[in-house]
Structure 1
Amino acid sequence: METMRWVDGRLEILDQTLLPETAEYIKCEHYETVCDAIRRLSVRGAPAIGAAAAYGLALGANAVQAASREVFITAVEKIAGDLAATRPTAVNLQWALDRMLETLRGNTNDNINDLKKALLEEAHAIYREDLESNRRMGEFGQTLFPDNAAVLTHCNAGALATAGLGTALGVIRAAHKAGKNVHVYADETRPLLQGARLTTWEMLQENIPVTLLTDNMAGYLMAQGKVDLVIVGADRIAANGDVANKIGTYGVAVLAREHNIPFYVAAPMSTIDFNIASGRDIPIETRDEQEVTHIAGKRVAPEGVKVWNPAFDVTPARLVTAIITDRGVARPPYIDSLAALAGKE
């Protein structure tokens, strides 16, 4: 099942809000539809959001009618701003849009149609590179897995969160392919149940053994000696190695430290924001209260209750055993190792 695909001049996005019951694609003929899909979490996961935004910009640019290169660029920059405003935490969104705009500004061609083609080609490149990035992360990360490993993961960092294969789940897939007999424990991940709905679905599709548990069972599972390692994805990583990921990740990291269990993060280099020194500076998205007060459209909390609904939390670098990237495995101190992998020494 493809997370997204470009078909006959339009973007088709797998609507993840309907999984696992229904596999249905949203047909995006206008960039505004892509914006809505990102806001609604029809497409989610930092790498997938980046790729979708790149295609959304190409889609929007294709509809622009401009008499000059300068007018065209101004219009495309406005579209990029609309796409960037959809979600604040995942850095891959802005990274992909910046890359698309750099491609546009660096192209000196005055032919508008050629500029439109260049943007679409760059979106295709971002999509293809994410697939290769996931493959490399899997190769690097699976070496950290012992045979017969019981692995706990939180949220969904799989093929559905990327162009394909996945970050954390991509590493799990690679370990499974290497014959390491992996068993996955998946936190359900309240409030939107990405672990229950998406991670377990992906694992079952590939016959990787998986057990579902509610978020508040993770500590007891560790205390029972049933977890060998934890691996999660990331939506933004600061230069010092602090990790923003789905809400609840920080609690899992604290539990892993208490039980002396390795805590790994898998993310491409594009998720590392070297412009942010630490997690304190990462913008954290707050979402609609109904995500907490309702489940599958049914109210489960009383009318009038106050709700706090941050979509992400920040795990301090001191709790992270290693960060698995598409350029290799970084270990503490991350301020040095991440910079070295990025060639910023």
Structure 2
Amino acid sequence: MADQQVRTGEDRRPTEIPAIRWEEPPEGPVLVLLDQTRLPAEEVELVCTDASALVEAIRSLAVRGAPLLGIAGAYGVALAAARGFEVDDAARALEEARPTAVNLSVGVRRARAAHQAALASTGDPTAAAVATLAAARALHREDAEGSVRMAAHGLALLDELLPAGGHRVLTHCNTGSLVSGGEGTALAVALAAHRAGRLRRLWVDETRPLLQGARLTAYEAARSGMAYTLLTDNAAGSLFAAGEVDAVLVGADRIAADGSVANKVGSYPLAVLARYHHVPFIVVAPLTTLDPDTPDGASIEVEQRPGYEVTEIAAPQVPVTGAGGGIPVAPLGTQAYNPAFDVTPPELVTAIVTEAGVVSPVTAEALAALCTGSCQVATG
């Protein structure tokens, strides 16, 4: 079950965007999410009291972004344990909520493993619930710490590739505080460049059909005082041709063992454009996004979203008439192709930036070496 509550500007610091938090009111523990479908029009929080409400929030994209999905999944298992629900059922439902982002499985299985280990050693459901929450909080903390390291590695790479400074960076979808326990992945690198006085311009792809760039990245950039400009996805080619892009920074939802990168649909065309125009295409993602069990790009399951996300436009606080709750922009009955992600082959990726360092060139051998002793395989 999920309830809503509106948060005012007095409840947070000017640039703080808490996308997720655990609370323990008198009536029992809850997971509180910033509803990203309502941004930027209003800041509304969803209060989840069980895993089924969290599953719905994940599927509706109220909570999204690969690292944050891992954190949410872990907290969802902890929520089931704390409230006395069947943990295995909750874990299974959470894992199946979205198929492409491997972080979700990693988070769920890490929390579930902690629950099983504690239950086996103590036989006490309460102690097992405490251990599960501790595992979720540890993942949350590690993600925030990793975000800081990714930002530092990414900025150093930008400075190395672009020694003239004044970086003009193009990004796609949303990769900031809204997808992370910290300041994000790719957008954290841009933010580090901004703070260092080396970001000349952040180009923000609108990111159709759900406009995560326009609604979320622009929202974060504005709050952080970054110099940014929004463009439609199909204007990116014109921007490259004009010589206005120095680097592309994107996140990832799954990175296969060979270095193929699944990210928000529209990333692959940017990689092709970047290669043609000799512009670095840089992927920033935590180690939890690397999946050694997925051998190559063809093995990545790409989530297919409902067609109404393409045939309708969602507009918060505007009367709607479409079947999906949006404003129709195509004739009734129009078929739509709507993959949530596309896959970029490793030969088009200049570098992958993780909290453990930078991989460039991107090869299966280099990723395996980085992963040794670090990557968590989603098994069990």
Match of 1:91 among 102, 106, 109: 102
Q: Give the Cα separation in 1 of the matches to 2:123 and 2:67.
A: 31
Match of 1:193 in 2: 211
Mapped contact 2:100–2:302 kept (Cα < 8 A): yes
Look up the equivalent residue of 1:7 and give its one-letter code: E
Helix, strand or coil at the partner of 1:170: helix
Look up the equivalent residue of 1:84 and give its one-letter code: E
Q: Give the Cα separation in 1 of the matches to 2:295 and 2:57.
A: 31
Percent identity of equivalent pairs: 48
Q: Does 1:116 align with 2:116?
A: no
Q: Give the Cα separation in 2 of the matches to 1:265 and 1:171.
A: 11
Higher alpha-carbon deviation: 124-133 or 174-183: 174-183
Q: Does 1:302 align with 2:331?
A: yes
Match of 2:311 among 259, 284, 293: 293
Q: How does 1:32-71 map to 2 (within 5 A)?
A: 32-64=52-84
What does the per-residue CA deviation read over 1:23-43, in whole Å, with 9 as the maximum and x for residues that have no partner? 010011111111110000000
Q: Does 1:26 align with 2:37?
A: no
Match of 2:287 in 1: 269
Return the offset for 1:88. Answer: 0.2
What does the per-residue CA deviation read over 1:257-298, in whole Å, with 9 as the maximum and x for residues that have no partner? 110100000000100000011010000000111100000210
Mapped contact 2:190–2:199 kept (Cα < 8 A): no
Structure 2-normalised TM-score? 0.87
Match of 1:68 in 2: none
Mapped contact 1:3–1:164 kept (Cα < 8 A): no
What does the per-residue CA deviation read over 1:289-310, in whole Å, with 9 as the maximum and x for residues that have no partner? 1100000210000111111111
Q: Give the Cα separation in 2 of the matches to 1:333 and 1:185.
A: 25
Return the offset for 1:156. Answer: 0.5
Look up the equivalent residue of 1:115 and give its one-letter code: A
Match of 1:71 in 2: none
Mapped contact 1:158–1:199 kept (Cα < 8 A): yes
Structure 1-normalised TM-score? 0.95
Q: Give the Cα separation in 2 of the matches to 1:130 and 1:197.
A: 23
What does the per-residue CA deviation read over 1:203-252, in whole Å, with 9 as the maximum and x for residues that have no partner? 11010100000000001100000000000000000011100000010011
Return the offset for 1:179. Answer: 2.2
Q: How does 1:233-272 map to 2 (within 5 A)?
A: 233-272=251-290
Q: Does 1:214 align with 2:243?
A: no
Look up the equivalent residue of 1:61 and give its one-letter code: A
Match of 1:227 in 2: 245
C-alpha RMSD of the superposition? 1.2
Match of 1:69 in 2: none
Return the offset for 1:63. Answer: 2.0
Match of 1:104 in 2: 115
What does the per-residue CA deviation read over 1:164-218, in whole Å, with 9 as the maximum and x for residues that have no partner? 2010001111122222134100000000000000001101101010000000000
Q: Give the Cα separation in 2 of the matches to 1:36 and 1:127.
A: 21
Return the offset for 1:6. Answer: 1.0
Q: Give the Cα separation in 1 of the matches to 2:125 and 2:110.
A: 19
Mapped contact 1:51–1:163 kept (Cα < 8 A): yes
Match of 2:195 among 151, 172, 177: 177
Q: Give the Cα separation in 2 of the matches to 1:181 and 1:194.
A: 21
Mapped contact 2:70–2:108 kept (Cα < 8 A): yes
Match of 2:149 in 1: 136
Mapped contact 2:351–2:362 kept (Cα < 8 A): no
Return the offset for 1:133. Answer: 0.7
Q: Give the Cα separation in 2 of the matches to 1:289 and 1:60.
A: 32
Return the offset for 1:341. Answer: 1.3
Mapped contact 1:172–1:182 kept (Cα < 8 A): no
Q: Give the Cα separation in 2 of the matches to 1:344 and 1:132.
A: 18
Look up the equivalent residue of 1:4 and give its one-letter code: I
Return the offset for 1:106. Answer: 2.5
Q: Does 1:312 align with 2:332?
A: no
Match of 1:342 in 2: 371
Look up the equivalent residue of 2:293 and give its one-letter code: N
Helix, strand or coil at the partner of 1:143: helix
Look up the equivalent residue of 2:344 and give its one-letter code: T
Mapped contact 2:111–2:133 kept (Cα < 8 A): no
Q: Give the Cα separation in 2 of the matches to 1:123 and 1:199.
A: 26
Q: Give the Cα separation in 2 of the matches to 1:143 and 1:182.
A: 16
